[in-house]
Amino acid sequence: MSRARHSISSSGSKGSEHFIEDADEHLDHESITVHPNAWSKYRLALREYVAEFLGVCVLILFGNGVNNQVVLSSVTGVASSQKGSYLSISFGWGIGTAMGVWVSGGISGGKGHINPAVTIAMATYRGFPWKKVPGYILAQVLGGLVGAALVYGNYFHAIDIFEGGRGVRNSCNCQFSTYALDYMTRRFMLLLGIPGHCPPAGRRTRHQRQKQHPCPTRARSSCSSSAPYACIGASLGMETAYAINPARDLGPRLLTSMVGYGSQVYTYRNHYWLWCPIIAPILGAQAGSIFYDAFIYTGEESPFNKPNAAARAHRERASHAARRNLPAGPGAEDQV
C-alpha cells in the first residue's frame, strides 16, 4: 500500500477500513493510504489551489458587490435612494475577507492566503514551498476574475443605466478595481501602498499554527484577517481604494477589459495598475515581514532566527550528551 501524509485510513472491524482524507489532524494513525479512488488523487493535487480560487472569488463577490451597490444606486434610475455609504463599503470588504478566509482557511495554508503578496511573504519568511507560489497566484487572480464576472452579471442592467445606455462602457469603472484620486502623485501612491500592507507579516503556515494552537477555529482566523482589512479601508482607503491585494485588483481589472472598458483600465495614470496595486503590496508585505521578524517573531522557520554555527555546535554537543546519559539495561525504557 502506498503511503503519504495527505490522507490516512484507520482500521475498524476486521477487513474494513475507514478513510480520512486530511491526515494533518490524525497523525497518530498507523496506516496511511494515498488515494481511496481514482478522483481523489486529482483532488489532492488541486484542493489547495481551488481553495485559494474560491477564497478570492468569495472576497470579490462581497467586495465588488458592495462597491457596485453603493456606486450604482447613486443614480435615481437604478434605485430610489443610495443603498449604503463608504462605511458600508469598508464593512463589506471586511466581511468578504472573513468569508474568503473561512472558505480557504485550513486547506491552503493556515488562515488562507487569498493574496499574492501574502503568498510570496509566506514563501520568503515562513517556509511555504516556492514551487506552489505560481499556482497559488494564478488561482488567486482567476478567483478575482470569476468573482468580478459574477458581480458584473448581477449588476449588468444597473451598469447599463449608470453608463448611459445598453452596452455603453466609458468610465474606468472604479467599483471593480482600484483607482487613485486625481491629486495623488505616482511616487506617493507607491510609497502609500508599501506600509499599507505590513499587517500580514505575523502569519504562520498551518503546521506552525497547529504546533502552537492545536485547535484553531476558522471563525477566529476569519475575524483576525477581516478586521485589518476593514480598518485599513475605513481609515486609509480613500486615496487609492486600499489597493493592498494584487489579485483583488488584477482579476477584476482583467474582467473589465474583457467586457468593453478596453485598454484604458491598464493605461490609466501611466500604468498605475502595475506599480500601485501589484508591486507596492508585495514590497509592503516584504517590509512588514522583515520588521516583524527582526524585532518580534521568534519562530525557528524565519530566516532571522536560523541558528548560527555556534548555536548548531552547542545543540550537537547537547544532543550527544543527552544520548550518553540515557539509561541502559533491563527496564531502561520505563526509566526514560
Q: For the segment 99-135, what is each residue's pLDDT rounded down to a tens digit?
A: 999 899 878 766 789 999 999 999 999 989 999 999 9
pLDDT at 174: 84
The rounded distance, in Å, linking the Cα atoms of 170 and 104 is 35
Lowest-pLDDT choice from 10-14, 60-64, 123-127, 307-311:
10-14
The rounded distance, in Å, linking the Cα atoms of 145 and 142 is 5
Q: For the segment 224-267, what is each residue's pLDDT rounded down to a tens digit?
A: 677 888 888 888 888 888 888 999 999 999 999 999 898 889 99
182 phi and psi angles, rounded to 5 deg: -60, -35
Helix (H, G, I), strand (E, B) or coil at 20: strand
User: In the block, which residue shows the cell 520568503?
Assistant: 124
pLDDT at 185: 80
Nearest to 284 by CA among 176, 192, 162, 215: 192
CB 26 within 8 A of CB 20: yes
Sequence spans of domains, the chain: 1-36, 45-276+290-296
Q: Is the dihedral of CA 43, 47, 49, 54 positive or negative?
A: positive
Question: Which element (helix H / strand E) includes 84?
Answer: none
| Beta-bridge mates of residue 19 | 9
Q: Which of 62-66, 112-116, 159-163, 227-231 has the highest mean pLDDT?
A: 62-66
Full DSSP string of 186-213? HHHHHHHHTGGG-GGGG---HHHHHHH-
The rounded distance, in Å, linking the Cα atoms of 52 and 49 is 5
- What's the length of the chain? 336
Q: Which of 127-141, 186-200, 206-220, 230-244 has the highest mean pLDDT?
A: 127-141
User: In the block, which residue shows the cell 516583524?
Assistant: 292
Band (pLDDT 50/70/90 cuts) for residue 14 is very low
Band (pLDDT 50/70/90 cuts) for residue 194 is low
Number of other CB atoms surrounding residue 186 within 10 Å: 14
Share of the chain above pLDDT 90, in %: 44
Question: Does residue 308 have a pLDDT over 80?
Answer: yes
pLDDT at 55: 96
Band (pLDDT 50/70/90 cuts) for residue 221 is low
Band (pLDDT 50/70/90 cuts) for residue 161 is very high
User: In the block, which residue shows the cell 484620486?
Assistant: 181
Give residue 219's identity as a one-letter amino acid code.
A
Task: Note the maximum CA span of the chain.
Answer: 90
Band (pLDDT 50/70/90 cuts) for residue 45 is very high
**Mean pLDDT for all residues in the chain:** 81
Question: Does residue 201 have a pLDDT over 60?
Answer: no
The rounded distance, in Å, linking the Cα atoms of 1 and 24 is 19
Say yes or no: domain 45-276+290-296 is CATH 3.90.180.10: no
pTM reported for the whole predicted model:
0.81
pLDDT at 239: 86
